[in-house]
Amino acid sequence: MLSAFGRAFQTPDLRKKILFTLAIMAIFRLGSHIPTPGIDYNLVAQCQKAAGGEQTLLGLANLFSGGALLQLSIFALGIMPYITASIIIQLLTVVIPRFEQLKKEGQAGQTKMTQYTRYLTIGLALLQSSTLVAGATAAPYRLLGVSPSACPTVTTDDNIPTLVIMVLVLTAGTGLIMWLAEQVTERGVGNGMSLLMLTAIAARVPGSIWSIRSQGWGKFALVVVMGLAITVAVVFVENCFRRIPVQYAKRMIGRRMYGGTSTYIPLKLNMANVIPIIFASSLLSLPVMITQFAGSQSGWSQWVAEYLARGDTPTYMAIYTVLVVFFTFFYVSITYQPDEVADNLKQSGSFIPGVRAGSATAKYINYVLTRVTVVGALYLAVLALIPLIALALVGANSNFPFGGASILILVGVGLETVKQIDSKLQQHHYEGFLR
């Protein structure tokens, strides 16, 4: 592995791409520490200290921003608006015929879909920045779940021009992040948005691990060993596929025989990736957000505060597990169409051995897909519960790095980036990372 890194830097073209990618990642981290105009950083630090750590409501968004959200920096929104916009566009592809048509038009259609995603990202950034500025100005204590006296405000001025500038700066920060990610994709190594997401999460890992040290060196060592074991298990599962064999029929064209080859359809064990965990966390955050801003003392509000505001309760874990399993099946059913795969096989003159072409092939693929999704959903549910169990056992915060969305993104993006570097090394007749 280390020798492969050395050979990567010995290749001028690849070295230039890697250094460019690292420079963009450094700029992204620098922007996460530049305060937004109108924000008093000392008041922000005071409010975070009063909160006593990460909150369940803002934990996921703060994780994807690399800690910039709770610091109210110019990159406070991070990449969450782009992620949300991408998911919305992907889901709308199923229900809007125009989007489905663009998806089938190849590169031109993909360019148009990317343009729509950019527009939606800016719109969501405006909405989220306005909400964040309003909360930071009027009632930041409700966002952090502390008393009004502990965190009355974090702004130096609350006049309209200052608030408008803050909203525009936060929105521009999201636009700049989107542009930086596209530059990495075009001129660097790997997918730009995924690498910036990895950078934001990786920046939180050392602090999250070191915070466990207060529980004692024994628990600290145990968590590190378990974390390494979980990482190895995730790497193994993320590379697991269910292969459906496909046979191409023999055809006589002129005087030559074509076809007769064998291949397979790969069904990834975790086809939904990290999306179900994001959906489940966001949905569980809605009742907490509503009760905090409403300030109601009804029985429903008290139940939400007791069972859903904290992630270490059995009720929260049970609902979280059900939602992760449900969203796994929901997302896979929308993004993977067995009927479309069966039609493509039929048009290309290929078939699954022992299965008739057409509807029978679609039913067989759906049958295998359902079985694979069951295992994938249980895998995601267990992985999503790891940070919550760690929170209950060792007092780790909700962004515990060895579980949930963080470990999936770190491992998934890391593997994909290594594969791309490996393919570029092999183009230069070098032995790559994967041997």
For the cut 80, the answer to whether the pLDDT of residue 282 exceeds it is no
432 belongs to a structural domain:
no
The candidate with the shortest Cα–Cα distance to 387, out of 372, 373, 401, is 401
Return the CATH number at 169: 1.10.3370.10
Interacting residues of 159 by C-beta distance below 8 A, sequence separation 6+:
none
Is residue 347 classed as helix, strand or coil in its secondary structure? helix
Domain boundary among 204, 222, 252: 204
412 belongs to a structural domain:
no
Looking at residue 425, its pLDDT comes to: 76
CB atoms within 10 A of CB 20: 15
Q: Which helix (H) or strand (E) holds 351?
A: strand 350-351
Looking at residue 55, its pLDDT comes to: 47
Q: Do 132 and 15 fall into the same domain? A: yes
Q: Do 324 and 344 fall into the same domain? A: yes
Band (398; pLDDT cuts 50, 70, 90): low
Asked whether the beta carbons of 244 and 336 are under 8 A apart, the reply is no
351 belongs to a structural domain:
yes
Domain that holds residue 115: 1-204
Q: How many domains does the chain have?
A: 2
Kindly write down the DSSP assignment for every residue of 242-288, as one continuous string: EEEEEEEPPEEETTEEE---EEEEEEETTSSTTHHHHHHHHHHHHHH
Q: Do 193 and 218 fall into the same domain? A: no
Domain boundary among 204, 228, 260: 204
- Is the overall model pTM greater than 0.85, yes or no? no
Band (294; pLDDT cuts 50, 70, 90): low
For the cut 80, the answer to whether the pLDDT of residue 287 exceeds it is no
| 149-159: pLDDT as tens digits | 666 666 767 77
Q: Do 160 and 296 fall into the same domain? A: no
Paired with 252 in beta bridges are 257
Arithmetic mean of pLDDT, 388-410: 70
107 belongs to a structural domain:
yes
| 230-272: pLDDT as tens digits | 888 888 888 888 888 888 776 656 666 666 678 888 888 888 8
Q: How far is CA 184 from CA 191, 194, 259, 275, in A?
A: 7, 10, 40, 23
| 308-354: pLDDT as tens digits | 766 677 888 888 899 999 999 988 888 888 888 888 888 877 888 88
**In which order are the strands placed within the sheet that holds 350-351?**
262-268, 241-248, 350-351
Band (24; pLDDT cuts 50, 70, 90): very high
Q: Do 94 and 157 fall into the same domain? A: yes
Q: Is 354 or 399 the better-scoring residue by pLDDT?
A: 354
C-alpha to C-alpha distance for 226 and 65, rounded to whole angstroms: 26
Q: Do 234 and 273 fall into the same domain? A: yes
Domain boundary among 155, 184, 204: 204
C-alpha to C-alpha distance for 87 and 83, rounded to whole angstroms: 6
Q: Do 365 and 379 fall into the same domain? A: yes
Q: To which residue do tokens 């896979």 refer? A: 332
For 28, half-sphere exposure in the C-beta direction (CA atoms, 13 angstrom radius) is 35
* One-letter amino acid for residue 203 of the chain: A
Looking at residue 153, its pLDDT comes to: 67
407 belongs to a structural domain:
no
Q: Which helix (H) or strand (E) holds 241?
A: strand 241-248
| 360-396: pLDDT as tens digits | 888 999 999 999 999 999 999 988 888 777 766 666 6
